[in-house]
């Protein structure tokens, strides 16, 4: 058990209200994350995000089911304005009880595409990487895994046990938005493009409903509000 004491008077008077991350270092034969203490006040579902940096590959749970978030799905463009709500609902629909969801797994030596720039040598040192090499691209020896679980008092009755795999395949939750042409359409090919775009948007609306469980009527209304009239169905 690890307990941190916070000086609330100093914290509230500080210019920044966010607490700096606490770092501890220890050796253990068990690769695990204690969960049970955090469930004492878990009256509702709580989220735990687990970020691991390893040398060999992706990390996964050994005593719970592993799954990946939905990825490479086309959805409607209005989701850009409500993405936090979209992803929260998408995750809640996909995450089954006692299941560890992988949201991101990436070999930092590979960047096509990257969600962000590889970490610098200084950043890797700050995170406690012990195998860091003094070379310009030290991140090539680092693999990032992001796992996400939701629990309450009735789920995850055992602490989370993990293992490092040799899987270095890249994965990320990716959602594709096709923006329709917003200019004047006069040619025959343009007329066909409009028909194809309407059909595509109907499929995108269905994809969004499947992911989130949102009412189709609500989705269709938001589409009509966000695309040119020529594409409305």
pLDDT digits (tens, 9 = 90+) for 197-212: 999 999 999 999 999 9
Task: Let me know whether 121 and 165 are in one domain.
Answer: yes
Give a yes or no: residue 21 inside a domain: no
Stated as kind and residue range, the H or E segment containing 52 is strand 46-54
**Do 140 and 56 share a structural domain?**
yes
232 occurs within a structural domain: yes
Torsion of the alpha carbons at 193, 197, 199 and 201, rounded to the nearest 10: 180
pLDDT band at 216 (very low <50, low <70, confident <90, very high): very high
Residue 126 and residue 45 share a domain: yes
Q: What's residue 42's pLDDT?
A: 73
pLDDT at 139: 58
Domain identity same for 99 and 172: yes
Residues 33 and 114 placed together within one structural domain of the fold: yes
Does 98 share its domain with 190? Answer: no
Together in a domain, 68 and 134:
yes
Q: What pLDDT, on a 0 to 100 scale, did the predictor assign at position 12?
A: 75
162-189 pLDDT, tens digit each = 999 999 999 999 999 999 999 998 898 9
Q: How many domains does the chain have?
A: 2
Domain residues for the domain of 197 are 181-233
Q: Both 122 and 47 in a single domain?
A: yes
Tell whether 173 and 185 lie within a shared domain: no
Q: Is the pLDDT of residue 151 over 70?
A: yes
Per-residue pLDDT reduced to its tens digit, 14-26: 677 777 777 777 7
Radius of gyration of the chain (CA): 22
Q: Are residues 86 and 124 in the same domain?
A: yes
DSSP letters spanning 27-83: --S--EE--TGGGTT-SS-EEEEEEEEESS--EEESSSEEEE---SEEE-GGGGGGH
Q: Is it the case that residue 67 has pLDDT exceeding 80?
A: yes
**pLDDT the model gives residue 198:** 95
Stated pTM of the model = 0.84
Nearest Cα to Cα of residue 169 among 134, 143, 200: 143
pLDDT > 60? residue 138: no
pLDDT given for residue 131 in this prediction? 83
Given this model, what pLDDT does residue 14 score? 67
Q: Is 105 helix (H, G, I), strand (E, B) or coil?
A: strand
Which pLDDT does position 98 carry in this prediction? Answer: 96
Per cent of the chain over pLDDT 70 is 93
Is pLDDT of 78 > 70? yes
Q: What is the pLDDT of residue 37?
A: 82
Averaged over 19-37, what is the pLDDT?
Answer: 83
Q: How confident is the model at residue 2 (pLDDT cuts 50, 70, 90)?
A: confident
**What is the pairing mode between strands 160-164 and 59-61?**
antiparallel
Structure tokens at 25: 């270092």
**Last residue of some domain: 134, 152, 177?**
177
pLDDT band with cut points at 50, 70 and 90 for residue 68 = very high
Residue 135 binned pLDDT confidence (cut-offs 50, 70, 90): low
- The verdict on 129 and 35 lying in the same domain is yes
On whether both 86 and 114 belong to a single domain, the answer is yes
Check pLDDT > 60 for residue 100: yes
């Amino acid at each position: 058990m690890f307990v941190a004491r916070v000086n609330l008077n100093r914290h509230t008077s500080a210019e920044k209200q966010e607490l700096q991350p606490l770092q501890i270092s220890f050796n253990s034969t068990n690769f695990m994350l204690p969960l049970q203490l955090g469930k004492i006040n878990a009256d509702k579902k709580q989220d735990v995000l687990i970020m691991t940096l390893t040398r060999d590959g992706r990390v996964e749970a050994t005593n719970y089911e592993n799954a990946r978030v939905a990825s490479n799905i086309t959805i409607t463009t209005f989701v850009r304005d409500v993405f936090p709500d979209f992803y929260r609902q998408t995750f809640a629909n996909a995450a089954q009880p006692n299941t560890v969801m992988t949201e991101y797994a990436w070999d930092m030596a590979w960047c096509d595409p990257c969600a962000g720039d590889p970490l610098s040598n200084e950043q890797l040192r700050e995170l406690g990487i012990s195998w860091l090499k003094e070379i310009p691209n030290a991140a090539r020896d680092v693999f990032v895994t992001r796992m996400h679980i939701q629990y309450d008092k009735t789920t995850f009755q055992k602490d989370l046990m993990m293992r490092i795999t040799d899987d270095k395949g890249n994965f990320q939750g990716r959602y594709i938005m096709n923006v329709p042409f917003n200019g004047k359409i006069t040619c025959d090919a343009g007329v066909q493009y409009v028909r194809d775009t309407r059909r595509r948007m109907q499929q995108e609306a269905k994809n969004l409903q499947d992911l989130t469980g949102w009412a189709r009527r609500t989705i269709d209304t938001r589409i009509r509000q966000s695309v040119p009239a020529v594409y409305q169905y």
